[in-house]
Every structure is written in structure tokens, then in C-alpha cells.
Chains A and B, each alone.
Chain A
Amino acid sequence: MVDAAHDQADFVPPAEVAEMDLYHPHSWVTKYVFSQDAKIIAIQYSFTAIGIGLVALVLSWLMRLQLGFPDTFSFIEAEDYYQFITMHGMIMVIYLLTALFLGGFGNYLIPLMVGARDMVFPYVNMLSYWIYLLAVVVLLASFFVPGGPTGAGWTLYPPQAILSGTPGSDGGILLMLISLSLFIIGFTMGGLNYVVTVLQARTRGMTLMRLPLTIWGIFMATVLALLAFPALLVASIMMTFDGLLGTSFFMPGIVEFGEQLQYGGGSPVLFQHLFWFFGHPEVYIVALPAFGIVSDLISVHSRRHIFGYRLMVWAIVIIGALSFVVWAHHMYVSGMHPWFGFFFATTTLIIAVPTAIKVYNWVLTLWRGNIKLTLPMLFALAFIVTFVNGGITGLFLGNVVVDVPLSDTMFVVAHFHMVMGVAPILVIFGAIYHWYPKMTGRMLNVPMGQIHFWITFLGAYAIFLPLHYLGFLGVPRRYYELADTSFIPDSVQDLNAFVTVVALIVGAAQLLFLFNIGWSMARGKKAGSNPWNATTLEWQTAETPPGHGNFGETLPVVYRWAYAYGLPGAKDDFVPQNMHPDQVATGGSPEPSGAAAQPAE
């Protein structure tokens, strides 16, 4: 496999003590606060994202209370309602999902799974987190300025976002735009790290076509984010200028409540193009890491190789590329030239083909497998159900003429919550149950996890499935109240009340999950280094949780792909990526990746 000369050239002697001394942190502050270790940064990202996510959860409760019981909660005014939906949406999409998948899982898993000691630019990686934290603080600050946070909807469409008819049009919208700009700057620092690390810091033998699909998903999502976020950055800066300096990038001549404003000549539709040129890839920035992670969860826990690995990789790449030519399917009824509809409907429906292939390959991985119904597997199965459900409703909305009656109804709300809310979040849960043992050395409690799973999955499905049908009826989204509307029967109010009650229960179940995380840290069953008998490199580390530098003294050498489960002729039903070919038939410890390598359990 590796010729001798090559072998010698690749030999790097262990670093001098002084160098190693520089490399490792020396104080509590540099180890746990201003840490440059990707694993610590990952945990910082994750806790911050989950913390701000809890704010979004409470906001969703408040908006559901208003929708379910419109006359009961007098403290929720129309202004508040619009602020709740706006902040809920923006937090969930950007500050929770993007940050958790890329900043959280990306940081933790990329160096470990590609066999690197750390990210290639650790200092910049650290800055990335602190700028993200600053963005979150600025976002939260908007709750405390006069007028409150913006209520322009998470799409922030001008002109209304910066005009007085919208809540938070003075301070709130500016803080939102500043926070987004900070987020993008911070993300770029992290994102460059992820891309360069995957391309440059893979260990010996880890070819691109041996990368676990988790890494492919996170890698491609990061590439998309690096290309898409700049569109949002310029849109944010231009809108800040419109709001503060009186420029007219997005502002045509406007008569506001009988008063002629000083704007003229700008285009509101231009903003929508910029927003969705970012916004549609954003869907895949969230979805591709979920695709990748769920592929690995399914493979590990069904004890079978992923089916059609190469096609899975190409599907990720093709979906990523296509995601840049479908953005205007969010704008079929925006007033753009109607002929665009033909082009964007075609590209959008073409994207269904590689996406469907991924679904087929997930279920074909289960087929003829040896399926363990562990918690990560349950979440993976639930992901497939909700993702297929949300994916096929995308075929309604992508087919331009079907979108015409459905756009801006509850059908859209149900669709995107199912496909980029519920489905990726189920993967996040599955991933936490899967990797928590590596991060802490202990297993999460299973009975608590089972309760959490069934309430979350069945509850979320019961919330969002019926909302599609309200969309068919014509119930609009972003309505503070429906009041008396002749075509809306009273039963809609009953359904809304039901959905609100379920939403409160599902939300409460997440508190059980958080409790489980804390409780298991102290009381969970000891995990050992490889509790799931998985093949990828993060499970072959010398220490659990892995120390600074990940792999002890020598880096692992990779001999095969990440999916050698059920390999004929092998002693065990899994063969780690770094197990020397001579040992496959007899078993035994994989290539030691440090002095204290442990045998696979």
C-alpha cells in the first residue's frame, strides 16, 4: 500500500519538549475559556447554540399560545407576536442550527474523524467562537432596546423592515443586521478552518473517498456557507445604509401613512434575490451535515456498510452545486419576471433526484443489515420519516404553479419545519446520543432517552402534519389572529389549540433531555472508548474523552473506508479504519494510535 521511500519521507519525529510545551495550554483559562482546542471550542459552540435555542423554544411557546388561545393571553399584542416569530425563526436557522452543526459538530468531529491533531488554524478557530458569542449577545440585546427586536419576519424584507409600521424598525432591525454581520465574520473564520482541515490535514491513507459521510456533509455545507453568506452580508450592510444613511438600495418611492418619504429608485426584489441566494443554500447548510451524520448513525447501528457510498458522496456534491441555482423558488409570487418560474421549477425538481437517492440508500443500508434499535438509530429512523414527509411537500412548493395557492400559507410553515426544523433536529439528538460517550466517557441514560424520543418524534409529527392541511384550506402564515374569516371553520381553532398543547408537551420533553445530559455526566454508565463498535477514527483514540492533540504520540494510519461492517472474513462485525490488514482476520487491537491504545470492545 505504501512504498518504503514514501514511508520514510512521511516520518516526522516527535516534537521537541519545548515545542510541545508551547502547544499545550498552561492555565485553566487557556484550557477551558480561551481554548484553541477544537473539541473545547465545539462544546462552547454547542452550549451557546443550545442556550439561545432555548430562547427560541420559549418564543415558539408564546406564539403558539397566541394561535391556540387567541383571546386568553392579553399580554401578547400583535407587535409582540411578530417579534416572537421573527426572533424564533432567525435564532433557529442561524444561531442554533448553523452554529450547532458546523461550529459544534464540525469542530468536534472534523479533526477526530480525518485523523488530525486539531484544526489547522487553532487561534482563528478560537476567535470564530468569540465573535459568534458576540453576535448572540448583540441579538439578545435587541430585546432590551426601545421598540424591542425586529418584527419583520425572519426574511427581513424591506421596505417594511425599516419602516415604522413594523415593530423594532428603529433599534431592533439595526441590531439584527449587525448581529448577522458579526455571525458571518465569525463563521468565515471557522469555515475556512473546516475546509482547509479536511483538504490538508487528513492522516495518512485517509483519501477523500474514504472520508466518513459525516465529514463529507459538513465539508460541503461549509463550502456552501462560505459562498452563500457573503450575499447576506452585503444585503445586511446595504439595508443598514438604507435605514441609517437614507440610501435607497432596496427602497423605491414610498408614501407611508400619507407622507412622502425621501427614498426613490431602489428595488425591494433585489433584496429578496440576495436574501434567497443565501437563504436557499442555507437550507442545505443545515441539511447536508444532517444527511452526513445520519448516514453514519444508520450504518453504525444497523451494523452494515452504507449502501452506495460513492453515489452518496456525489449526491452531496450535486445537491450542493444545485442549491445555488434554485433560490428564486422562494420568489415565485414575488413579482419577479414570471418566466423565471420555468427555470427555477425545473432546477428545483431536479434536486429531488439526488435527494431521493440519498433516502433510498439510507433504507437500503437498513435492508439486510443487523439492526440495533439504539437511541441514535431511533432518531435516525424518525429523521427518515420526517425528512421524506418534508421532502415530498417540497415537491408541491417547488412546482411553480402548485406554489401559487400554497405560498405564505401554513403549508409552507409545516413544510419547512418538517424538513429543516424537525428532521435536522432529530439528527442532532441522534448525534448527541451517539457521540456523547466519546465527549464525556459516559452513556446517556436510555429510559430517559426513550421517553424523550417518542414524545419528540410523535409530538412533532402531530404538530406539523395537520398544519399542511390548514395551508390547503388557505389559512395564512404570520397572522396574529384569524378572527372571523368566512372560509375558515371553527374547527381550525380547535386544531390550533390541540397543536399548541402538543407543542408545550414536546417543548417540555426537551427539558428532560437537558436533565439527562447533566445527570449522565455524573451518573451515566461508563462508556469505554468504543461503545458502539464503530469503525471511524474518533472511536479509536487512546483516551476517552480525547486529550489535546487527539491521538497521543502517533497519528493513526488509515487502510480502508469507514464502512467495513460485516466484512466477509473478518473476525468481528466491524473493522476499524486504522486496523492493519494483517489483523482483520484475527481481530486484536487496531493500529495503536498512542502508547495506551485500548482494544476495541
Chain B
Amino acid sequence: MYVAVLLILVALGTVVFHFASPWWWTPIASNWGYIDDTIILTFWVTGAVFIAVILFMAYCVLRYRYREDRRSEYEPENKKLEWWLTGLTAAGVAAMLIPGLFVWNQFVTVPEGAAEVEVVAQQWQWSYRYAGKDGKMGTSDSRLISADNPFGLNPKDPNGQDDILIEDPELHLPMGAPVKFLLRSIDVLHDFYVPQFRAKMDMVPGMITYYWVTPIRTGTFDILCFELCGVGHYAMRGNVVVETKTVFEGWLQEQPTFAETMARAKTNKERAEKLALNESASVAAEVQLAR
């Protein structure tokens, strides 16, 4: 008796918890509401099966509990029942799979004209690159990475000169325009995820992976690394600021291009060399004086 009651309580408790739980997804900030819809559909189909199976089990435990004077029914197979259950299950599975594949098709089809933004990950920080005025990204290679060229851009590629480099964990995006993230890692696996966008993809050294979203509301959202990347994984954070197009354009204009950073690095270097030269000269002078 109490076993059946507890089984029913587990089933009902699960339903109550589902509706009463304060933990649910964040308000969406991208076009991927379809994903949420597919989850809801899956909930209804699978939830019904879960409740039905457990309640049926509780019924059996109650109705067919052991009695000395009774025998179980001997009916090893029931083809009709088995076919019905197989057919219904297949239909339920198809009802979840088919819409899911349609949404996946959208997910992997990047719309024409989506702006490209590169996200570069390394242990344990984020940086970003925009294509600049010409709308084209310059080529890159991890072999070119150095202190002066942290993105490893090809300095001879004309497309790369006006690329805008953001060495800061804060990413800015315009609202309402589709964005294709080009995902690049220079050391280990990472994963670029904004919970409010619902979309994510691993970043793999040696490859460029991608996905696309259209931000649909302004705000500041957390960026988290979602693939274990070593001991600092949990601290690899950033944030994304979604703003109106004009605010975004204004912000973008203030950011340095690749050519500018390289030039600045060069002058810095020359200045440092000169300084070092002067210093050694003065040291030499001091040495002479001491003599």
C-alpha cells in the first residue's frame, strides 16, 4: 500500500516541482525562441509518458499485490498490444524529432549578410575582432601570434589592416542584426556561450567554428566558457553588451584597428629600445666617471 502511495507521490511531486520551481531559463535575448518551443514540446510528450508509466506501475502494485491464493496471468506475448505501443512511441518520437530537425536546419543555415565577429579564446580570457570598414576579415595563423600581434593576423594581408581588435572581455553587438560568430581558440578547447542567446559552439584550436544569432533586445549579458579548459575554466568570463545600432557604431569607431595597434607597438618598441640605449650609454658614462 505505502509503496504505491509513495510512487504516486514521486510522480505528483515531480509535476509540482516542475511548475513550482523558481529555476527556469533566462528571458531570451535572441531569435532562438524556436529552441525553447522545441523544449516545451518535448516536455509535454515525455512528461505524459513519465506520469503514465509511474501511475500505471503504482496501480499494478496496488491491484496485483501478492495473495497466497492467486496466480499471475499467463500470457507471454500480446502482439497487438506490443505493436500498438511500438507505433505510438514511434509517433511520439517523430513528433519531437521532425520539428527539432527543422529548427536545426535554421541553426546551421547562416543568413546572407550576417555580420561576422571573431571571438578568440585562450586560457582564460576572451578577445574579439570585427571586420572593419571593408567588411572583410584578414587571414590569421596561430604561428604569427606574439606579444605585439596577439590575434596572429597576417600583417601583409590588406583585408586585415582595418580589422578592429578588442582585447577586453566585453563584446558589443548591435540589436536586430544577424551576427555570425567565428570562433577561434589558440590553445585548448573552449566554448562561447551566452545563456540568453541559447546558442553555443565549442572553440577548437586548429579550426574555425561558428554559429549565428540575432540579438533581439538590448542589455548586458554574461559570457561563460562552457567547455572545460583547465583550472581557470570557471573564471573565464566576459559579457556582451547589446545596444542599438547607432550606439554600437559610435562605440566601434573609437576602437583601434590592427594597423594602428601594430604601429603603436612599433613606436613603443622603438621608444623602449632608445630608452635602453640611453640607459646603457649613461651606465657607460658612469663607469667612465668612476674610473
A contacts, CB < 8 Å to B: 78-79, 82, 151-153, 157, 159-160, 163, 165-167, 252-258, 260, 265-269, 302-305, 307-311, 333-335, 338-339, 341-342, 345-346, 349-350, 352-353, 356-357, 359-361, 363-364, 366-373, 378, 381, 384-385, 388-389, 392-393, 395-396, 399-402, 404-405, 407-409, 458, 461, 465-466, 469-470, 472-474, 476, 478-483, 485-487, 489, 491-492, 495, 563, 565-568, 573
Taking a contact as CB atoms closer than 8 A, the residue among A82, A260, A345, A474 that contacts B195 in the complex is A474
Interchain CB contact under 8 A, A338 and B49: no
Contact A465 B17 (CB under 8 A): yes
> Out of B77, B124, B147, B205, which one reaches A308, CB within 8 Å?
B77
Beyond A165-B229, A254-B205, A257-B123, whether A367 also contacts B60 by CB under 8 A is: yes
- Whether A159 and B35, one on each chain, are in contact in the complex, defined by CB atoms closer than 8 angstroms, is no
CB distance from B94 to the nearest CB of A (A): 8
Could you tell me the distance in whole angstroms from the C-beta of A572 to the nearest C-beta in chain B? Answer: 10
With CB as the reference atom, state the residue of chain A lying closest to B143.
A253
Count chain B CB atoms within 10 A of each CB in A345, A474, A492 and give the residue with the most: A474
Question: In the complex, what residue of chain B is closest to A258 when comparing beta carbons?
Answer: B147
Contact of A405 with B35 at beta-carbon distance under 8 Å, contacts A333-B200, A487-B222 already known: yes
Q: Are B49 and A392 in contact (CB under 8 A)?
A: yes
B26 within 8 A of A: yes
A357-B89 Cα distance, complex, nearest whole Å = 8
Contacts of B74 in A (CB 8 A): 305, 565-568
CB of A160 within 8 A of CB of B65, answer no
* Cα distance A341–B106 in the bound complex, in angstroms: 12
- Nearest-neighbour CB distance to chain A for B76, whole angstroms, equals 5
> What separation, in Å, do the CA atoms of A367 and B78 have in the docked complex?
13
A373: chain B residues within 8 A (beta carbon): 3, 61, 65-66
Check A404 against B200 for contact (C-beta < 8 Å): yes
Report whether B82 and A308 are in contact in the complex, using a CB–CB cutoff of 8 Å: yes
Interface residues of B (CB under 8 A from A): 3, 6-7, 10, 14, 17, 21-26, 32, 34-35, 38-39, 42, 45-47, 49-50, 53-54, 56-57, 60-61, 64-67, 70-78, 81-82, 85-86, 89-90, 93, 96-97, 100-101, 103-105, 107-108, 122-124, 141-143, 145, 147, 152, 183, 186-189, 191, 193, 195-196, 198-207, 209, 220-222, 224, 226-235, 237
Known: A260-B145, A396-B39. 17 other contacts (CB 8 A): A78-B232, A166-B231, A254-B205, A267-B206, A305-B74, A307-B75, A333-B200, A335-B203, A349-B93, A349-B96, A352-B89, A368-B72, A388-B53, A392-B50, A402-B100, A405-B198, A573-B72
Taken together as a complex, chains A and B put the C-alpha atoms of A440 and B64 apart, in Å, by 31
Given A305-B76, A565-B72: A478 in contact with B17 (beta carbons within 8 A):
no
* A369 in contact with B72 (CB, 8 Å): yes
A304-B72, A404-B107, A405-B200 as given contacts; A476 in contact with B24, CB under 8 Å: no
Q: Which residues of B contact A368 (CB under 8 A)?
A: 64, 72-73, 75
Provide 21 A-B residue pairs closer than 8 Å at the C-beta atoms, listed in order of the A residue. A252-B207, A253-B205, A256-B187, A265-B206, A333-B202, A353-B93, A366-B61, A395-B96, A396-B42, A396-B46, A401-B38, A402-B42, A405-B198, A408-B193, A458-B6, A469-B21, A474-B26, A474-B193, A480-B233, A482-B234, A487-B221
Cα of A385 to Cα of B101 in the assembled complex, Å = 29
Given contacts A392-B50, A395-B96, A396-B39, contact A302 B230 (CB under 8 A): no
**Chain A residue, CB-CB nearest to B224:** A476
In the complex the two chains form, is A466's CB within 8 Å of B23's CB? yes
From A252, A388, A495, contact of B206 by CB (8 A): A252
Beyond A254-B205, A566-B71, whether A401 also contacts B60 by CB under 8 A is no
Q: Which residues of A contact B82 (CB under 8 A)?
A: 308, 311, 357, 360-361
Also in contact, A157 and B25, with CB within 8 A (given A78-B232, A352-B89, A396-B39): no
The 7 closest A-B pairs by CB, nearest first: A252-B206, A474-B195, A165-B230, A304-B72, A392-B46, A566-B72, A160-B188
Chain B residues closer than 8 Å to A349, beta-carbon distance: 93, 96-97
* A152 CB to nearest chain B CB (Å): 7
The residues of B that contact A385 with a CB separation of less than 8 Å are 7, 10, 54, 57
Contact B142 A254 (CB under 8 A): yes
Known: A304-B72, A405-B195, A469-B24. A167 touches B187 (CB 8 A): no
Q: A371 near B64 (CB under 8 angstroms)?
A: yes
Decide: A363 and B17 in contact? CB cutoff 8 A: no
Residue from B93, B189, B233 in contact with A479 in the complex, judged by beta carbons closer than 8 Å: B233
User: What CA separation (Å) do A255 and B182 show in the bound complex?
Assistant: 19
List, in ascending order, chain A residues with CB within 8 A of B77's CB.
307-311
Knowing A487-B195, A565-B72 touch, does A401 contact B85 (C-beta < 8 A)? no
Inside 8 A of B228's CB, which chain A residues have their CB? 82, 152-153, 157, 160, 478
A469 to B19, CA, bound (A): 11
Beyond A266-B206, A405-B200, A491-B22, whether A372 also contacts B66 by CB under 8 A is: yes
Asked if residues A165 and B24 are in contact (CB atoms below 8 Å), the reply is: no
CA distance A119 to B32 in the complex (A): 56
**A369 to B107 alpha-carbon distance, docked (Å):** 49
Q: Is the CB–CB distance between A360 and B85 below 8 Å?
A: yes
Between B24, B77, B199, B202, the greatest number of chain A beta carbons within 10 A of the residue's beta carbon is seen for: B202
Give complex CA distance A404, B191 in Å: 11
* Distance between Cα atoms of A244 and B181 in the complex (Å): 35
CB pair B49–A487 under 8 Å, yes or no, is no
Query: B54's closest neighbor in chain A, by CB?
Result: A385
Q: In the complex the two chains form, is B145's CB within 8 Å of A472's CB?
A: no
Q: Tell me whether A335 and B231 are in contact (CB under 8 A).
A: no
Q: In the complex, what residue of chain B is closest to A370 when comparing beta carbons?
A: B72
Give the chain A neighbours of B14 by CB distance below 8 A. 389, 465
B122 CB to nearest A CB, Å: 7
A478's closest neighbor in chain B, by CB? Answer: B228
Q: Which of B50, B60, B90, B193 contacts A366 (CB 8 A)?
A: B60
| A481: B residues at CB distance < 8 A | 234
Tell me, rounded to whole Å, the shortest Cβ–Cβ distance linking B80 to chain A: 12
- The CA of A577 and the CA of B42, in the complex, are separated in Å by 44
Given A79-B231, A253-B143, A373-B65: A486 and B222 interface contact (C-beta under 8 Å): yes
The residue that A345 contacts in the complex, of B42, B97, B221, with Cβ under 8 A, is B97
Q: Which residues of A contact B141 (CB under 8 A)?
A: 253
Chain B residue with Cβ nearest A311: B82
* CB neighbours of A267 from chain B (8 A): 206
The residue on A at minimum CB distance from B208 is A335
A466 to B216, CA, bound (A): 30
